[in-house]
Amino acid sequence: MSNFCLDGTMNYKETLQYLYAQTPMFQQKGTSAYKEGLDNTFFLDEYFNHPHQNYKTIHVGGTNGKGSTSHLLASVLQCTGYKVGLYTSPHLKDFRERIRVNGEMIPEQRVVDFVSQHKQMIEQRCLSFFELTTALAFLYFAEKEVDVAIVEVGLGGRLDCTNVIRPELSIITNVSFDHVSILGDTLEKIATEKSGIIKKNTPVLIGECQNDSIKQVFVEKAKSENAPICFAQDYETLDFLCELRGVYQEKNKHTVMVAFTLLLQLGFEISDAALRDGFLQVTERTGLKGRWQELSSLPRVVCDTGHNEAGIREVVKQIEKEHFDTLRIVFGMVSDKDISSVLALLPRDAVYYFTKAQIPRALSEEDLKKKAEKYALKGECFASVEEALFQAKSDASVNDLIFVGGSNFVVAEII
């Protein structure tokens, strides 16, 4: 089957197929797709003439919450009247979710044109998927003449290809265990990698700091860069209602409120009205999905993209606050996560529907069930998320709660 249209060019679907085949994608393949070092990043930055220097940036790193934090920042800035670029990862349904301007996804044709124009370079440089996507985002934001771009770190910080930017403010939401084979097997090692986004003479905000040893990592790095450092826990903020549900969003909300306190000092204009509207309209303005998102009622079906130990702990806290007759959990994970730590947190009084997303990294539903049984989690296996959810709905009464999660990819298949 040809990869090209009649005129010799690829359409959008074929362009994505080419990208996935040509450039290894971490979300699909895991650590085999991870490329250490910034050689390609610096090459691309030079090749495209440093597009990120044409607008202000805010850099958002951390283990959990950086997506929600980035979307909240973008929503409030949009309400203020700024033209806002938003670069996040991974996407749930459409690649274009990663690159938005004032909430609008990058056009399909712009993606096609970018790949077509630079196809020879892409193949010669052996770029990773994320390296290329980051270059496209920075270039597109310059073309659209954004005032400011919110840039979410892909993985880690120090060696992440977003780390070429020189932001107005760096934010690190928190540090917990994830990607330990790449970032390190202690929280201090992970914090060191996250602290890599702290830049010379650039203020940094730490959203949550679990202990003094992690705090010391950030303090020392900030001192070495002469970067003013702030900890969100040291600030009191106003309380605005937020559209994003989930108890864990209170931490993200507080971090964002403190961030705007700092941005005001840096010359940004943000009103209380923009804060109020931005918090209440974040999904409409930025397209955020998958954060304690209610998909249907009677029975209630809720999904959440939390997928590591800290993320699942927050999800379980939220479940404990809900009211239901029977809890039914449609659950799948990728094979390279700390599966045992996650399973140990899950409620034992739920009915489980073990499944897998349709990606190479997915842990098989049979293996997941065997691991779950060691933690007294009982349920049946289903070959697809769709089948698992269908069965959970069939089994449920109107007062039951069905939760779908364990992986971004599980959530993506039912949104």
The tally of CA atoms less than 13 A away on the side-chain side of residue 12 is: 9
pLDDT at position 157, please? Answer: 86
**Do 405 and 306 touch, CB atoms closer than 8 A?**
yes
pLDDT at position 89, please? Answer: 92
Burial of 338 (0-12, 13-18, 19+ CB in 10 A): middle
Candidates 43, 47, 98; CA nearest to 70 is: 98
List Cα–Cα distances, 389 to 175, 290, 292, 329, 352, in angstroms: 32, 16, 16, 9, 11
131 part of a folded domain: yes
Q: Are residues 145 and 240 in the same domain?
A: yes
Q: Are residues 367 and 386 in the same domain?
A: yes
297 part of a folded domain: yes
**Do 309 and 338 touch, CB atoms closer than 8 A?**
yes
Q: Are residues 168 and 26 in the same domain?
A: yes
Q: Are residues 256 and 365 in the same domain?
A: no
Q: Are residues 239 and 317 in the same domain?
A: no
Distance, CA of 77 to CA of 140 (rounded, Å): 19
Q: Are residues 361 and 314 in the same domain?
A: yes
Burial of 19 (0-12, 13-18, 19+ CB in 10 A): buried
Q: Are residues 170 and 297 in the same domain?
A: no
Q: Are residues 65 and 185 in the same domain?
A: yes
**Do 71 and 88 touch, CB atoms closer than 8 A?**
yes
Candidates 367, 364, 401; CA nearest to 384 is: 364
Peptide bond into 90 cis (omega under 30): yes
2 part of a folded domain: no
pLDDT at position 199, please? Answer: 97
pLDDT at position 7, please? Answer: 45
Find the domain containing 45 and state its range.
12-286
CA pseudo-torsion sign 152, 157, 162, 167: positive
- Residue ending a domain, choose from 271, 286, 301: 286
Question: Which amino acid type is present at position 74?
Answer: A
4 part of a folded domain: no
Distance, CA of 153 to CA of 157 (rounded, Å): 6
Q: Are strands 104-105 and 99-101 parallel, antiparallel or unpaired?
A: antiparallel
pLDDT at position 24, please? Answer: 61
Question: Tens-of-pLDDT digits for all 415 residues of the chain?
Answer: 334 443 457 899 999 998 888 776 644 554 544 556 789 999 999 999 999 999 999 999 998 899 999 999 999 999 999 999 999 999 999 999 999 999 999 999 999 999 999 999 998 988 888 999 999 999 999 999 999 999 999 988 899 999 999 999 999 999 987 666 678 778 999 999 999 999 999 999 999 988 899 999 999 999 999 999 999 999 998 988 999 988 889 999 999 999 999 999 999 999 999 999 999 999 999 999 999 999 999 999 999 999 889 899 999 999 999 999 999 999 999 988 789 999 999 999 999 999 999 998 899 999 999 999 999 999 999 999 999 999 999 999 999 999 999 999 999 999 8
Q: Are residues 254 and 305 in the same domain?
A: no
152 part of a folded domain: yes
Total of domains in the chain: 2
180 part of a folded domain: yes
Q: Are residues 356 and 246 in the same domain?
A: no
1 part of a folded domain: no
Please report the DSSP string for 158-205 in residue order: TT-GGGG---SEEEE------SHHHH-SSHHHHHHHHGGG--TT--EE
Q: Are residues 266 and 311 in the same domain?
A: no
6 part of a folded domain: no
Distance, CA of 125 to CA of 88 (rounded, Å): 24
Q: Are residues 278 and 356 in the same domain?
A: no
- Residue ending a domain, choose from 286, 306, 332: 286
Distance, CA of 272 to CA of 16 (rounded, Å): 41
Structure tokens at 350: 């739920």
- Residue ending a domain, choose from 258, 286, 314: 286
What's the CATH number where 343 sits? 3.90.190.20
What's the CATH number where 95 sits? 3.40.1190.10
